[in-house]
Amino acid sequence: MGKRPGYAGQIRLTAEKAFGERNEGNIRIIAKEKFAQLDDCLEPGLMVFFQAPGGELPGVIMEVYENSLRVDFNHPLSGRTIIFDVEILKVEHVNK
């Protein structure tokens, strides 16, 4: 608010105002047998999707064990401060 065209700056959002804090309870150990179709490509960093009551739930494989996987269901940007570089190009007044 109050910025004019030509203004350039940064907007910083703390984790709690952006994607939330990391929750260690969102890290799960899951049986490797549930991923039989992906067995050849299971590796740390791979994003996998699970069916959940509200739709798909993404998780990132953290570690691969002999019979299980450690999967992180936190948002990949959780726990981080997010910084946006912004520039005001144009300002229009809107009648309400």
Residue recorded with tokens 């709690």: 16
Q: Residue 82 has what pLDDT? A: 97
How far is Cα 13 from Cα 20, in angstroms, rounded to an integer?
A: 10
How far is Cα 4 from Cα 18, in angstroms, rounded to an integer?
A: 25
Residue spans of the domains in the chain: they are 1-21+78-96, 24-73
How far is Cα 43 from Cα 62, in angstroms, rounded to an integer?
A: 8
Q: Residue 96 has what pLDDT? A: 76
Q: Residue 33 has what pLDDT? A: 86
Q: Residue 34 has what pLDDT? A: 83
Mean pLDDT for back-to-back runs of 10 residues, the chain (96 residues): 90 96 95 80 90 88 94 94 96 84
Are 13 and 96 in contact, with CB atoms under 8 Å apart? Answer: no
Q: Return the CATH class of domain 24-73.
A: mainly beta
Q: Residue 41 has what pLDDT? A: 84
Q: Residue 37 has what pLDDT? A: 77
